[in-house]
Amino acid sequence: MKKVLVTGANGFIGQVLVKHLLAAGIEVKALVREKAIHADIESIALDLTESWTSNPCEGVDTVFHLAGKAHALSEIAADDEEYQRINTEGTRKLLEAAKLAGVTRFVFFSSVKAVGDMPTMQDESNQTPPDTPYGQSKRAAEQLVLTGNYVPHPVVIRPCMVYGLSDKGNLPRMISAIERGFFPPLPEVHNHRSMVHVEDLARAALLVAQNPKAAGQIYIVSDGQANSTRQIYEWICAAFDKKPLPVTIPVFVLKSLAKIGDVIGKVHGKRFLFDSDALDKLIGSAWYSSAKIENELGFKPKYDLQIALPEIVHYLKNKGGQALPDIASTACTPKL
């Protein structure tokens, strides 16, 4: 790779990916919605779903496509069309531009939600249809990338839940709730939650772009761990130097409260704060294997959640009045 295009370069993952690319001596062109990412990086302000006056892929050999509409916690009917317009059709337009520009490699950041959920550990062989509009839009975009014959080296990455120095997402919300004493003391139900550190995800993206074996493949990327929500709760408490509460809320109580939340949601026409879907995210499993990318391409994650949490907690605690830590210089110490 000599020069690459990164869409969504201003995002949490995009910024870290750009840092890794620059460190590898690769020239970066950033496609963003609004402001430039960095004074030293060529930036293009462009909405993928609108008309273009020029081809953003001109002059690049590789595209890393991260831009898209993220999964909304409370999806509404209007989101269905938006997911398709942005995630699917936006990807199609970018692929067509890449083909016209003679781009060699196209790495698409999809999601593990591109297939339906299963209670057991999942890998790339799972062909269950996605059960959400978001997942359906990502699955359709994957098919375009892999079967559309747009570039010689198309690759799909399906990240698990991504963590790192960020204040957005379910993990920061959980950390905030525990700090304020609002998080329920869950019992140990031995569920499995797979995640990946943003630094490892960026390393995996460079790997699949550069290794010829990755062409035409789908790769799940995780940190190789499968933690229960109770474990995560206890690790966060430890990071705050707090002791977990000595009592736990029984599962049957949680299920009863979730059913009440379901009824309230139906009455008001929108999801209640705590319902069955929220409960599933707390005590259900989202368990994925990254054995394929490890075995085929030699990927080895350097980070795991337990090691990363103290620095993530420190970052969130100091995000107020003080200058924010630079994610490029304060990444947590990796496991060896």
pTM for the whole structure:
0.90
CA-nearest of 197, 71, 206 to 137 is 71
Q: Is the pLDDT at 100 greater than 50, yes or no?
A: yes
> Where is pLDDT greater, at 183 or 336?
183
For the chain, residues classed under CATH 3.40.50.720 are: 3-159+194-224+287-303
* Confidence tier at 334 by pLDDT (50, 70, 90): very low
Query: Mean pLDDT throughout 186-195?
Result: 95
d(CA 149, CA 152): 7
Class of domain 3-159+194-224+287-303: alpha beta
CB crowding 7-42: b at 16 or more within 10 Å, else e: bbbbbbbbbbbbbbbeeeebebbbbbeeeebeeebb
Query: Mean pLDDT throughout 85-106?
Result: 97
Query: Mean pLDDT throughout 54-75?
Result: 86
CA-nearest of 283, 287, 270 to 73 is 270
Ramachandran angles phi, psi of 63, nearest 5°: -120, 130
pLDDT at 121 (0 to 100): 94
Q: Is the pLDDT at 245 greater than 50, yes or no?
A: yes
Ramachandran angles phi, psi of 72, nearest 5°: -80, 135
Give the relative orientation of helices 305-317 and 229-239 as an angle to the nearest 10 degrees: 50
Query: Mean pLDDT throughout 243-263?
Result: 93
* Model pLDDT for residues 152-181, shown as the tens digit of each residue: 999 999 999 999 999 988 899 899 999 998
Q: Is the pLDDT at 72 greater than 70, yes or no?
A: no
